[in-house]
Structure 1
Amino acid sequence: MKLFVGNLSYDLSDGELRAAFAEFEPVLEFHRPQDRETGRPRGFAFVTLADDEKGAAAIAALHNKTLGGRELKVNEAEDRRGFTPVRSRRRDENDPTLGALPRIDNRPVDKNGQRERYKSI
C-alpha cells in the first residue's frame, strides 16, 4: 500500500521519518520530493509498505501523531489518473517581457544554504 505522509517539518531528517515507519517494515519504497530550486524537502513524502494490512496499521498509528513538532497527516495515496500538469513556468522565447529572462541571483549563501538579504556596502 502506498501512503501519503503530509505536513512534515522541513527540518525533519529522512532517518527520523524512516524510524517512524520502522515497526511497519518492510518499507518497499520511500520518496520525499524536494524543491527544484532550493533542494529542500517540500513537506510531504510517499511511503510504500509491503501490504494493505501494514498500511492500514501505519495510518491508524501515525495519522495526527506529532513528529518534528508537527502533526502528521497519513493517508492512502491517491492515484494520479486524470492529473493535469501545471503549465510550464517558461515563457515563449519571443516574449519581450522580463519574465522570459533567467533569474540571476549572485547573493552569498550562508551556512544553512539561505541567501543573504542585504549586501554590505
Structure 2
Amino acid sequence: MNIYVGNLPYSARNDDLKEIFAEYGTVNAAEIIFDRRTKRSRGYGFVEMADAEEGREAIGELDGSDYEGRQIRVDESQPAEENAEARRKNNSKRNSKAPEKSGILSFLKKMFS
C-alpha cells in the first residue's frame, strides 16, 4: 500500500519516515520528495507498506499527529491520473470566473492604451 505523508518538516529524511511507519508493520520504501532545482525538501513524501491492513492502521494512527511540531497529513496515495483529474476539475471551477476578470482586463487595456 502506498501512503502519502504531507506537511513534513523540511528536516525530515527518508530514514525518519521509515522509522515512524515501521512501528505499524513492514516498510518496503520511504521517500521524501525534493525540489530538483533547489535540492530542498518539498515537505511531503511517500511510504510503501508491505501489508494494506498495516498501512490503514498507520494512516488511522498518524493522520493529524504531531511530528517535530507539525501536524502531519497521512492518507492513502492516489494514482497520478486521479490527482490530475481533480486538479483539472478544480481549475475549471476557477476558470469559470474568468469572464469577470477578463472584463476588468479589457477595461484596463482600453483605458491605458
Confirm or deny a common fold (TM above 0.5): yes
- How many positions carry a matched residue from both structures? 84
Other structure's SS at 2:42 match? coil
Match of 2:81 in 1: 81
Question: What CA deviation, in whole Å up to 9, does each residue of 1:61-109 have, x standing for no partner?
Answer: 111110011001000001112638xxxxxxxxxxxxxxxxxxxxxxxxx
Conserved 8 A contact 1:6-1:44: yes
Displacement, 1:25? 2.9
Long gaps (5+) in structure 1:
85-121
- Calculate percent identity across the aligned residue pairs: 36
Name the residue aligned to 1:95.
Answer: none
Q: Partner of 1:41 in structure 2?
A: 41
User: Does the 8 A contact of 1:24 with 1:49 survive in 2?
Assistant: no
- The equivalent residue for 1:50 is 50
Moved more, 7-16 or 66-75: 7-16
Alpha-carbon distance in structure 2 between the residues aligned to 1:15 and 1:48: 13
Q: Which has the higher helix share?
A: 2
Query: For residue 63 of structure 2, what is the aligned residue in structure 1?
Result: 63
Higher strand share: 2
1:53 and 1:68 map into 2 onto residues whose CA distance is 26
Q: CA RMSD in A?
A: 1.6
Return the TM-score normalized by structure 2.
Answer: 0.67
Give the TM-score, by structure 1 length. 0.63
CA deviation map 1:2-59 (0-9, x unaligned): 0000000112233332221121231112121101111111100010101210111000
User: What is the CA–CA distance in structure 2 between the aligned matches of 1:33 and 1:69, rounded to whole Å?
Assistant: 20
1:10 alignment counterpart? 10
